[in-house]
Amino acid sequence: MAAYPESEAAQRALVGDGWVFESDYAEKAGPEWLDESLERWAELDATVRRVGPMGDDGSECIPIKAFANATTCLVSILIHIGATRTKFIRDDLNMRLEQVRTKYAERGEQPEDVVSAVDADYALRDPIMHLKRGISFIALMLDKFCSTDWSLRAAAKDAYSVTLGIHHGWSVRSAVKLALYALPSRDTFLETLSPGDKEQARVKLHKLFAYVWPRALFLNSLYAARDYDDQLPGDASVSGTAPSIED
């Protein structure tokens, strides 16, 4: 098996065109990042709906490249939350994205959908498992933040405790929770994403949750049904006020 390239330049050369990387978002302003995140997840949702269920079990047809690119963009929210404070989570998820890109390229970009990939190859199944845990964390954080008056810190800690936190040991959980304690205030975060109109930022973030959460739910259900992941999100309740993606 080919070794995973350590540098992004090597990775880009290996996997070819059509992929995005965290560095593509590192310098983007908050409003630009938020709009592109909505666009990528809306396009992914539209694709899943257009193709419809596949197979006897009615699985969703989620294109791997579109999913990886949308996830890369989503994970970049952690830069706007606090690049240093979220580095541990970002680094882990970006490593899993690198593994998906590399293995998918090695396989000649086959199979094209997530379900077929996780069934066919452990080298794709494992990193996608970590990615679905990551998007579950971010989606729940967005929902808690947008549907309540909670601080970003409280929303992140609550989401972490029922998603990523159940897979981490005590020392890692303690370090992450300490880092999350230093997240920016609610107003500062919203102002970063929509200067002068914090409510617009909140509405867009909740819309983003409405696109991400169905994919997270499906992937968690898929891994549970296949016995690929015996540790699923804990008692993770979402609000009953999430916006309709048809709005």
Q: What is the largest CA-CA distance in the chain?
A: 51
CATH number at residue 37: 1.10.3520.10
What distance in Å separates the CA atoms of residue 29 and residue 34, rounded to the nearest whole number? 9
Q: Which residue has the higher pLDDT, 84 or 128?
A: 128
What distance in Å separates the CA atoms of residue 94 and residue 30, rounded to the nearest whole number? 20
Domain with 196 in it: 28-220
Burial class (CB in 10 A: 0-12, 13-18, 19+), 50: exposed
pLDDT, tens digit, for every residue of 8-29? 888 898 899 999 999 899 889 9
HEC profile of 33-94: HHHHHHHHHHHHHHHHHHHCCECCCCECCCEHHHHHHHHHHHHCHHHHHHCCCCHHHHHHHH
pTM summary value: 0.91
Range 150-169 average pLDDT: 93
Q: 148 lies in a domain?
A: yes
Q: 12 lies in a domain?
A: no
What distance in Å separates the CA atoms of residue 124 and residue 247, rounded to the nearest whole number? 34
pLDDT, tens digit, for every residue of 214-228? 999 999 999 999 999
Tell which phi-psi region holds residue 184, choosing left (phi > 0), alpha (psi between -120 and 50) or beta: beta
Q: Within 10 A of 244 (CB to CB), how many other CB atoms are there? A: 7
pLDDT score of 203 more than 80: yes
Q: 234 lies in a domain?
A: no
Q: 70 lies in a domain?
A: yes
| Tokens encoding 243 | 């916006």
Percent of the chain exceeding pLDDT 90 equals 71
Residue from 38, 10, 172 nearest 92 by CA:
172
pLDDT score of 89 more than 70: yes
- Residue 113's beta-bridge partner residues? 63
Q: 115 lies in a domain?
A: yes
pLDDT interval class at 4 (50, 70, 90): very low
Q: 80 lies in a domain?
A: yes
Q: What pLDDT is recorded for position 194?
A: 96
Burial class (CB in 10 A: 0-12, 13-18, 19+), 86: buried
| Secondary structure of residue 3 in the 3-state scheme | coil
Residue from 126, 37, 46 nearest 79 by CA:
37
Q: What pLDDT is recorded for position 216?
A: 96
- Mean pLDDT (the chain) is 90
Q: What pLDDT is recorded for position 150?
A: 96
Q: 243 lies in a domain?
A: no
- Residue 59's beta-bridge partner residues? 54
pLDDT score of 32 more than 70: yes
Q: 158 lies in a domain?
A: yes
What distance in Å separates the CA atoms of residue 181 and residue 184, rounded to the nearest whole number? 9
Would you say 128 and 117 are in contact if contact means Cβ atoms under 8 Å apart?
yes
Number of domains present in the structure of the chain: 1
